[in-house]
Amino acid sequence: MDAQNKIVVLIDMDCFYCQVEENLNPELKGKPIAVVQYNPWKGGGIIAVNYVAKAQGVTRHMRGDEAKEKCPEIQLPSVPCQRGKADISKYRNAGKKVAEVLQKFTPLMERASIDEAYLDITIQVEERLKIINSETINAEMMPNTFILGYQSINEFISDIQNYGQDCIDFDYEHTKRLLVGAVIVSEIRATVFQETGYQCSAGISHNKILAKLVCGMNKPNKQTVVPKHSVNILYKTLPLKKVKHLGGKFGDLVSNTLKIKVMAELQRFTEKELQSKFDDRNGTWLYNIARGVDTEPVQARFNPKSIGCCKQFRGKSALTNLDSLRKWLKDLGDEINDRLEKDSLENNRTPKQMVVSFSSQMQDGRDISSSRSYNFAAEDELCGDFFSIKALEIVLDCTRTMNSSDEEINPKLKAPIKFLGISLGKFEDHDSKKTKNIKDYFSINHSKGHCSSMEMLEPKLNAESFDQNDKTKDRIGRPHQDVSKSDNNAVEKRDSGIQSSFTLDKQESFFAKFLQKDEDKEIADLRTPACTIVTCGDESNDTNYSGSTIDEEINKSIALFEEDREEVDRISSIRNLLQMSKDNFEGTEQNQAEVLSKSKIDENAMKVKCSDCGKLIPESMTVIHADYHLALSIRNEERQQLHKEKKNNIDLADKSKTIQNEKKESKTNNSIKSFLVKLNDTVPSEMCSECGKRVQLDSYLEHLDFHEAQRLNKELNRPTQTNNSGAKRKRNSDSSEKKPKVMCKTIDLFFR
């Protein structure tokens, strides 16, 4: 696929931390709130503001106290503290839940941050076009959607139907696909809201930079499309700094050396000129992005590449003695330990490298920062206090300590430490061949506290002479190991991977967590395949929460479902038919279907015990339940596959192509839906009772989903009334433009 013809989406959660707090405490909905961290000093630093509070002038960058002045009734939920540090795991978990929903729509999802993800839905758009006629798309299928360069969706649609007659660079095929993309993104956002209770905004374009750029133009709970032929209109007034990668020093450099302020002015320079003024890479990048071209592919990545934590110790709180250094490293190490434990369970991987960073204040007031990496050795036990001990070793190795007058008790650090960080990376998957049965792996148990404690290190440290010239010995008296360089050997020696200390119990509870979620929604799952839209409750507007709880919404969904028994039965029977085909098709291969055959009938007549998770499953649900496990394992396989592919230095663009092709044709389909659907080509077709269109049976579920999505969108996401008010969406009256449908005003206002 030509990089220019993709459909790329950025999903960005609206004031995410606030939404998390609101959903945890629905009382807060509709009220002005801001999330702060470290409240003791001036009410804490604000890191998120909801839209009610924003309307009253509260912004990030303010302290909690200032916010109270602006908005006396504001509530300031605080990021919890653990080990003297802000603990954002609450939000991390919420972000992960969202990403799990997003991932159902495409395997080409790249998590960009805790609350943002890029999606490449090129293939999904193509698939949809096989099922529907793009001419049947109407504005109601994509509420809260804005198209750059157009006043209304209808105007956009009719422009497509006229093949963009007034526009010289109108790419008909791609623009049509953007329209379909907008419909799909509507469904995605509706599903995210329905399954998580969180609202998001989206940008839809042909590349990441533009998707990201326009995502923020209409918020909250809205989506913005930028067709290629509207890019110039956008760029005419778009300040350079608004473009990702140009927001910092580099953007200033470009702005100053070229004496330009807006993106359109960038187009005056040739690629060679730009390359000579900057470097080849940046020159080419600037030349391309000035023309709306960005070739960075969406990378399939769910998990972070590194897990780290850090803390600043500003001003007087800078660490001046060994005890405090030890204490803080212990806290950081403990957090790392917790998070790695979770990560290992969920993602079957272990870090191979630790990076310790720190900065200290020099005598002359200048502060210097540094970092050292350490490659784990085979004998390193990555648990307990290992991380903090190793980190202490490393920091002390680089920043010597000085004896105070009372030398044995509390040695002073030579220079106060202003920053400490520990980061773990270079993950490697647990060997899947050796661990055919995942339980075998996790039954390897190490007693906790096996590692030496920080206290054990202490006396030796205190006895340390702090001889700055002695580099031949480390603090404990072992032969000195140069942490940064000498471990090449250790890397070679490492073989079977570092052993895990996790127990089977945790493994089960992890899956049980998912299963619980699954059971809660088993009725809804029956109705539609897992990766598509399900029924939904109320519309939710940012400024107008109905005050209903999530539970109430779920009840409504179930009630809706029960009214529709006939439809359920119909879909159910199709599903069974497909299941039978599947069994015939794959029966001899004794693959995942054996999940079922392994199951043991319990004494409870109608329940079946799942051999995978031990849960009692109603007999009628066994297929769906098996699908659930299947989906989990396939997704896991897929992630490992992606991880490995990454290591080959394949061209990135080619890579995404390969992945997508594989998805299309091989058994590594990640969704239950595609598993059920992709059977053989002789499946008969059937008339759709809704639209009369003849649909192949193997696409029938998908087709029904389309209708379902239509209904859902109408219910869930009625357009907000305020959209077209005021100057916001006014047509530009400048008729000298070669393209008549412009709205520079919108852009100006937004980026003012």
Active-site annotation, residues: 116
CA 701/CA 704 separation, integer angstroms: 5
Residues within the interface to DNA (CB under 7 A): 37-38, 41, 45-47, 60-61, 85-86, 88, 92, 112-116, 212, 243-251, 279, 281-282, 299, 304-312, 314-317, 335, 353, 355, 357, 369-373, 375, 421, 423, 425, 484-485
Nearer to DNA (CB atom), residue 105 or residue 358: 358
Q: Shortest approach of DNA to residue 143 CB, angstroms?
A: 25
Q: How far is the CB of 462 from DNA (least distance, A)?
A: 27
Residues 6+ apart with CB under 8 A from 114: 16, 88, 91, 92, 95
CB nearer to DNA: give 22 or 334.
334
Closer residue to DNA (CB): 9 or 610: 9
Least CB distance to DNA at residue 375 (A):
6
State which residue, 274 or 531, has the beta carbon closest to DNA. 274
Strand pairing class (616-618; 607-609): antiparallel
SS3 for 470-483 is CCCECCCCCECCCC
Q: Which helix (H) or strand (E) holds 639?
A: helix 622-647
Q: Which C-beta is closer to DNA: that of 201 or that of 299?
A: 299
Provide the minimum distance between the beta carbon of 413 and DNA in the complex, in angstroms, as a whole number: 18
d(CA 517, CA 537): 18
Residue 258 · residue 277 · CB < 8 Å: yes
Of 60 and 615, the one with the shorter C-beta distance to DNA is 60
Phi, psi values for residue 56, rounded to 5°: -100, 15
CB of 723 to DNA, least distance (A): 23
The nearer residue to DNA, 278 or 502, going by C-beta atoms, is 278
Q: Rounded to 5 degrees, what are φ and ψ at 545? A: -80, 135
| Distance from chain centroid for Cα 626 | 27
* Residue 243 to residue 226: CA distance in whole angstroms: 14
Sheet holding 109-113, edge to edge: 109-113, 116-120, 8-13, 200-205, 223-225, 145-147
Q: Which is nearer to DNA, 335 or 702 (CB)?
A: 335
C-beta of 150 vs 278, nearer to DNA: 278
List beta partners, residue 428.
350
Q: Which are the contacts of 55, defined by CB distance < 8 A and separation ≥ 6?
A: 32, 543
Per-residue CA distances from 381 to 307, 319, 417, 495, 725 (Å): 17, 28, 28, 14, 62
Tell me which amino acid residue 346 is.
Answer: E
Residue 311 contacts residue 334 (beta carbons within 8 Å): no
Burial 301-340 (b: 16+ CB within 10 A, else e): bbbbeebbbebebeeeebbbbbebbbbbbbbbbbbbbebb
**Structure-block tokens of residue 452:** 């030496």
| Matching residue, tokens 């051999």 | 611
Q: How far is CA 411 from the centre of its chain?
A: 44
Q: Based on CB atoms, which residue is closest to DNA, 366 or 752?
A: 366
CB of 135 vs DNA, minimal distance in Å? 36
37 versus 528: smaller Cβ distance to DNA:
37
Q: Distance (Å, rounded) from C-alpha 321 to C-alpha 317?
A: 11
CA distances from 512 to 141, 473, 613, 614, 629 (A): 36, 49, 7, 9, 11
Long-range contacts (CB closer than 8 Å, 24 or more residues apart) made by 511-520: 511/612, 511/613, 511/632, 512/613, 512/615, 514/628, 514/632, 515/613, 515/615, 515/628, 518/625, 518/628, 520/554
Four-point Cα dihedral 95, 99, 102, 106, nearest 10: 160
| Distance of alpha carbon 702 from alpha carbon 678, whole angstroms | 11
Give the integer Cα–Cα distance in Å for 403 and 412.
Answer: 6
Secondary structure of residue 584 in the 3-state scheme = helix
Phi, psi angles (nearest 5°) of residue 95: -65, -35
Give whichever of 40 and 726 is closer to DNA, judged by the CB atom: 40
Task: Report the alpha-carbon distance of residue 267 to residue 287 in Å, rounded.
Answer: 7
CA 257 to centroid of chain Cα atoms: 36
